[in-house]
Structure 1
């Protein structure tokens, strides 16, 4: 138990820097009159770089498959080097183009970091060292504690120290991540013997379907990731504009909103015993919450909605990751499908602002909240029809991969 707690704490510290960076970039670009659309274009382009390197670089492909934690550590070191060079060259004179540069470079660093963690945890499941649900739960818990901590401090750091202080804190979180190749194998070893025994003696035999059906299930998890990331991308793009330009709230309130979402997401990791009591169609709340955030200019109401949104999003994401881990059969598959999942997340998150920029310009910025509500309803409808499509798969049980209601293994 103590090793599990330390494992989650270690990852949370280094991953909180990712949230700090994302919030800082968006808010700073708005403060300097830059375009989130331009930033998104750069991040979208740079998101393709790791995919191309992974596909055509034998070294990176082999390293990700054989030493994913080494790639994680090297990516964090690259981030520190870049920040040091940036601070030395542009300290006190950071313009909007410098922010675009930071966003582009770090899209590569964060992509490699996220993919290497997904690959490592899925390989642990594949080797029988940890159960799929525990792997998904521990990784998602670390991600959300990091998101909660990062969101909670970003607003304060922006108001009292600006970009130099943010960069210093970010370098500390990256430095912690440098230790991943040595610490994570030790900390993630908790309970492996007991879990292997349980896997061999206590688990019921799994139903085995054809590879074609298993591929469809894995594709459904990618679809679920894309749909959820549309919602996440809309929140990341629209809420800063809504708070900054429409509600005239400061960065500390935006940080508090992010913290509320992180806290709700963290709660979703603590209710494993009662998961079966949560209704499948809980995702309907996404549309309702987005409408309220976009139309009710009351900070307390926004915090409550953010908390609920984080809970719904994260509870669904944990179960979907469990499905993926459960249905991988080789190291090649772990790299292939983890890469697709990471790319789907990164690419969708960065493309969403490009897609939303046109209707926002046509509707006018005063209708930003209406656009957010429309997106929430759209995501809800897509999830509903995706579940209907999923029901055509010959899977045992009545749960849903899309809704995170079950985790069938095929």
Structure 2
């Protein structure tokens, strides 16, 4: 087995994971002149906050994806490698890849993210649909469209959707599905009666959007109810069956499509890497985001388990990735690493057309049309690639601001 170091003689960093954190770390390292090999099992990076739009046919998979090699080509010091991480040999500063390759490193950044956590609920993994990857979103989209076609043809009595989880992803998914039910399905599938479709949101707490202030939680709940979403708040899911979600109180909710929008954890293979793990399988790191016994290994994004718990959102991942890159650049120059400090810019979520909630760090809040426009602007700005930004902006305007019949061309 040949150990490869494509940049022998100069500091070499291997960044595993091309998500928000991995790309931010790579960008900082490249700007500092550190040579980087960016490794990811997919040939593209995914803008996860908009996956629910792919699942509901508002956007195409290509709109939320960007080629990893195209990103790497922007920087002379960066090379991309399509592979997964199988093993770390920290004493030798070597990583083994699932394609049989081996890379040596001077510094390692682990930013592979996490995966769906089924929370031990019986039947959830078998019968519910996650929305954590492009594959997940496309599979859910096909499932929804197949159920609608079967209902329209009389092969199925109804298409009832249950969304489990009242966080941002669950609220955004439920709100979008409800708008499709009201505005699009009557045009695309006129054979389906209004009573043959429904969207239900199940949340174990007595409110949605737990990190937000009560004013915004209530505004989001009212917006969902206005769109026809049935809400089962304060309800815990006991089991998921092929066509039902069973609650802890024994209630059975008929569900032709169950969407799992709660809980994430480290992938099982992380346990094989030989690094200390904490809650949710995340890798235990110092306040500087490196592994205590191996300070040359940094962990950023959702996979990191620093002493201070951080929200698992895009902003913390971006800032952690940038911090890891900067600390490696400093270490290369013989400078000490510094602790990571998260700068909270605020949080936002959309409920549907012309309705979003926005909460800034200073406590200032907003909901409604202006918050929704801010949500669109921010998400479009963070997309990679000018084509993606333009097509997503046009698709948003077409889907939400155009006449009802324009939505019909999107869902099909």
| Fold equivalence (TM over 0.5) | no
| TM-score between the two structures when normalised by the length of structure 1 | 0.27
| TM-score between the two structures when normalised by the length of structure 2 | 0.27
Structure of larger gyration radius: 2
Whichever structure has more helix as a proportion of its residues is 1
Whichever structure has more strand as a proportion of its residues is 2
